[in-house]
A and B are shown apart, each in its own frame.
Chain A
Amino acid sequence: MNKVKQKDLILYSGLIILGLAAPYLFSAFKVQLTYLCVLIVLAMTWNLQGGEMGYNTFGNILFYGLGMYLTASVQVGMFFPLAEWTESGGEKTFVHTTAQYFQGIGVGLLVSAIIPAIVAGAIGYAILGLRGHYFAICTLGLGIAAGEIAGGIEIIGAGQGFTTPPFPAEIVDTEARGKFFYFLSFALLIGTFIFVKYIYGSRFKLILNAIRDNEDKAEAMGIQTMKYKITGWMCSAFFCGLAGGIMGGLIGYIDSTDVAFDGREMGVFMVLMAILGGKGTLWGPVIGATLFHFFKEGLWTLILGWQYVALGVLIVVIVIYFPEGLMGWLREKYPERFGEVIDEKDRKAQVELK
């Protein structure tokens, strides 16, 4: 047992060192690395929902977009009138000082974590009572409705979008902006990973799995399924909101349907990444997101214009041919590595039965 722990320790410290050194090693790719961190966070939180609890949601994009708008609104609204800012490119008239900028983004991120979690808790009781595909379609509708509605609200820029506060000009170092957002997202990634890992070692995960495998039976065993479902969703929402807030600051511009509530890109990506890596595993979403990001960045520019066609085909192929994902495939191949002991007698008996 001890040996395994030591191996883990080396692995984790290696990854953290790599993560900390990455912006210096690949300094041209800081934005891409930030994206990668955020994608991994989204995939891991989706996996809690879709992989462990069995509630396949398209709606986590709701919290992502909400977090994005909230962070930017708080960051602006703390110091300047929000309506004037969004109405006529306020970023030219009002300038955040360095202190204001960081105060704003700090408070904004705090709000963008808490409010989506509260929203998830509030709508959870109604929405999580839906089963299977009704839940999937309902959350799909929720995500798109949020985008359409946000596109009609004047104070957050309506259809013309919302420019987030630019990085303070007083900081002369041109690399600072990229580094700031990278380390922010990396911290979020580590936080999320520790949290999800903690969940994986807890009773909570077993309850979520029980809900996935047979909800009625879980209820009959005396588990208050609704309570745990809502808690699970709130955890997802918490991290999705934070991820959205960071992305909003990084992109610098929020559009209701193309950036924030981007069900056509982010909303699908998170599902796809989790399934590609293997849902219901700790490392699956991490590997899936990394692979997907490399594939996306590598191929997107080669097949410019055709990227959505490629994305659609990729979804169809993955869903039909690899529904278990990479980890599922590995597990099938090397079951011993995953701690599954195969009883030779039992296996033979099954073969004979066939």
Chain B
Amino acid sequence: MDFLIFKAPMLMVQASLDGILLGILFALIAYGMALQWGVMNIINIAQGDLVILGGYIAYTMYLAGIHPAWGVIVSPIIMYFVGVLLYKLVINKVVDRDLFISILATFGIAIVFQQLMNFIFGADVVVAQSEYGTTMLFDNSVTLPNSKIFSAFISVLYAVALVVYMKKSRLGRAIRATAQNARAAKILGVDTEKVYAATFGINAALCGIAGALISITLTLHPYVGLPYTVRSFMIVIVAGLGNLPAVAVSGMGLGLFEEFADYILGTEFRIGAVFMLLVFILVYRRFKLSKKREYLK
């Protein structure tokens, strides 16, 4: 084993810290995915493209001379309305239908989003400079950009705020009621149509926050949305719907996996490794479930 990472233990610390901080960000996106999947029973392939769009909003602010960190406040507000609009145009027609229809329809949306972003923002890889500097640890052998710490902190903040909101507020209760049983909620006077719109809006807003954070920590490009979708999908199927601590943990696990795959396999296989991991997780899950399936339902 002549991999660099096993020769220099400090690289392991570096990769672990990077991975965990990145994973928290993934968990935030996955939380949005779990929310809409649980409530509306749709799988949104355009999730990653919503993230990238949110990032471009922050990037536009950066170009206009405003510090991109303000994007974490502006971007979710704009993205909320984008989400509601998207719901009114397309998503409301796929809510009660076959999951494959939602997959294909959102795949179409993803293509439209990618192309529009390509027109508006160009096909270059961009990054918004936060100029937060870096923190050096262990005698300067581990470098940690402060923007990553900032992004993890903001992600946790928003996630906690959302959990509290879902528990305490009227809309949050309505969303949870709809997720449990949409019909019963309807009978009891919950306007499920509004709840769905709000859910999708909140999901888009979460994507907006994540995107703004990605614009200062990683890079933006119109066509990199799909890996984020797949990551969030993966986290959700590992953690299960509505299990928030598990979402956070598996998000961090995914971040760690990615950083280590980056060092061991090489950067060119990073995205490939993510998608292969998806396949392995699904196949593993299938064999685990097939052992349980002993009777017909």
| Contact digits for B91-111, partner A, Cβ 8 Å, 1 yes 0 no | 001100001110111011111
| B282 contacts chain A at the CB level, 8 A cutoff | yes
Q: 1/0 per residue A304-342: CB within 8 Å of B?
A: 011011011111100110010000000000000000000
How many Å lie between the Cα of A54 and that of B183 in the bound state?
A: 28
Q: Quick check: A313 and B287 within 8 Å, CB to CB?
A: no
- Name the residue among B101, B230, B276, B286 with the largest chain A CB count within 10 angstroms: B286
Contacts of A181-236 to chain B: CB distance below 8 A: 216-217, 219-220
Nearest Cβ on chain B to A220's Cβ, whole angstroms: 6
Residues of B within 8 A of A (CB): 43, 90, 93-94, 99-101, 103-105, 107-116, 119, 226, 230, 233, 237, 266, 268-269, 271-272, 275-276, 278-279, 282-283, 285-287, 290, 296-297
Cross-chain contact of B111 among A56, A305, A315, A319 (Cβ < 8 A): A315
Q: In the bound complex, do residue A271 and residue B104 qualify as a contact, i.e. CB atoms below 8 Å apart? A: yes
**Complex interface: stretch among A71-79, A144-152, A343-351:** A144-152
Nearest CB on A from B232, distance (A): 11
From A220, which residue of chain B is reached at the shortest CB distance?
B296
Stretch of A9-17, A123-131, A292-300 contacting B (4+ beta carbons < 8 Å): A123-131
Given A126-B286, A127-B283, A133-B100 contact (CB < 8 Å): yes
CB distance from A63 to the nearest CB of B (A): 15
A217 contact set on B, CB distance < 8 A: 296
Task: With A137-B233, A319-B105, A320-B101 as known contacts, state yes or no: A309 contacts B278, CB within 8 Å.
Answer: no
Q: Which of A159, A309, A315 contacts B104 (CB 8 A)?
A: A315
Q: Mark A112-132, 1 if CB is under 8 A from B, else 0.
A: 000000000000001101101
Smallest CB-CB A-B distances: 5 pairs: A315-B108, A148-B272, A145-B275, A312-B112, A312-B111
A264: chain B residues within 8 A (beta carbon): 111
Given A136-B103, A142-B279, check contact A152 B266 (CB 8 Å). yes
Contact sample, A vs B, 30 pairs, CB 8 Å cutoff: A126-B283, A127-B279, A129-B286, A129-B290, A133-B103, A134-B282, A137-B103, A138-B278, A141-B230, A141-B282, A142-B275, A148-B271, A148-B275, A151-B268, A151-B272, A152-B272, A305-B119, A308-B111, A309-B112, A312-B109, A312-B113, A314-B108, A315-B104, A315-B107, A316-B90, A316-B105, A316-B108, A319-B105, A320-B90, A320-B94
A312 B110 Cβ-Cβ under 8 A:
yes
CA distance A313 to B285 in the complex (A): 34
Q: Give chain B residues whose Cβ lies under 8 Å from the Cβ of A314.
A: 108
Q: Smallest CB–CB gap between A285 and chain B, Å?
A: 16
B296 / chain A contacts, CB cutoff of 8 Å? 216-217, 219-220
Minimum Cβ distance to chain B for residue A49 (Å): 12
Instruction: Report A-chain residues with C-beta under 8 Å of the C-beta of B114.
Output: 308
A319 touches B266 (CB 8 A): no
CB B197 to nearest CB in A, in angstroms, measures 17
A31 at interface by CB-CB < 8 Å: no
> How far, in angstroms, from A142 to B277 measured CA to CA in the complex?
10
Interface residue SS majority, chain B: helix
* 16 further contact pairs, Cβ within 8 A, besides A308-B111, A314-B108: A132-B100, A133-B43, A134-B285, A136-B103, A138-B282, A141-B230, A148-B275, A152-B266, A305-B119, A312-B108, A312-B109, A312-B111, A313-B108, A313-B112, A320-B93, A320-B101
Q: Mark A152-177, 1 if CB is under 8 A from B, else 0.
A: 10000011000000000000000000
Residues of A within 8 Å of B99, CB to CB, are 132-133, 136
Q: Which residue of B lies closest to A145 (CB)?
A: B275
Q: How far is B111's CA from A145's CA once the two chains are assembled, in angstroms? A: 19
Nearest B residue to A147 via CB reads: B272
Q: A309-B112, A315-B107 are in contact. Are A152 and B269 (CB under 8 A)?
A: yes
- Please, which residues of chain B bring their CB within 8 A of the CB of A311? 108, 111
B119 / chain A contacts, CB cutoff of 8 Å: 305
Contacts of A159 in B (CB 8 A): 268
Q: Given known contacts A216-B297, A312-B115, is B43 in contact with A144 (CB within 8 Å)?
A: no
Closest to A139 in B: B279
Contact B269 A148 (CB under 8 A): yes
Q: Are B109 and A130 in contact, with the CB atoms below 8 A? A: no
Contact of A137 among B43, B93, B269, B290 (CB under 8 A): B43
Contact in complex: A129, B111 (CB < 8 Å) = no
Known: A130-B286, A148-B271, A315-B111. A309 touches B100 (CB 8 A): no
Q: CA A246 – CA B230 in complex, angstroms?
A: 31
A268 at interface by CB-CB < 8 Å: yes
Contact across chains for B43 and A129 when beta carbons are under 8 A apart? no
Please indicate the chain B residues that have their CB under 8 angstroms from the CB of A220 in the complex.
296
B115 & A308 in contact (Cβ 8 Å cutoff): yes
Q: Nearest Cβ in chain B — how far from A300, in angstroms?
A: 13
- CB neighbours of B276 from chain A (8 A): 141, 145, 149
**In whole Å, how far is B251's beta carbon from the nearest beta carbon of chain A?**
18
Q: Is the CB of B108 within 8 A of A309?
A: no
CA distance A311 to B104 in the complex (A): 12
- How far is it, in angstroms, between the C-alpha of A99 and the C-alpha of B285 when the chains are bound? 50
Set of chain B residues within 8 Å of A126, measured between Cβ atoms: 283, 286-287
What A residues does B104 contact at CB under 8 A?
271, 275, 315, 319
Q: Taking CB as reference atom, which chain B residue is nearest A308?
A: B115
- Inter-chain contacts of A148 with B (CB < 8 A): 268-269, 271-272, 275
Q: Are A129 and B287 in contact (CB under 8 A)?
A: yes
Which residue among B101, B271, B279 has the maximum number of chain A CB atoms within 10 Å of its CB? B279
Bound Cα distance from A136 to B119, whole angstroms: 29
Q: Are A138 and B279 in contact (CB under 8 A)?
A: yes
Find chain A residues with CB under 8 A from B115 CB.
Answer: 306, 308-309, 312
- Residue numbers in B under 8 Å from A151 (CB-CB): 268, 272
For A140, list chain B residues within 8 Å (CB). 230
Distance between Cα atoms of A140 and B282 in the complex (Å)? 12
Question: Which residue among A137, A138, A219 has the maximum number of chain B CB atoms within 10 Å of its CB?
Answer: A137
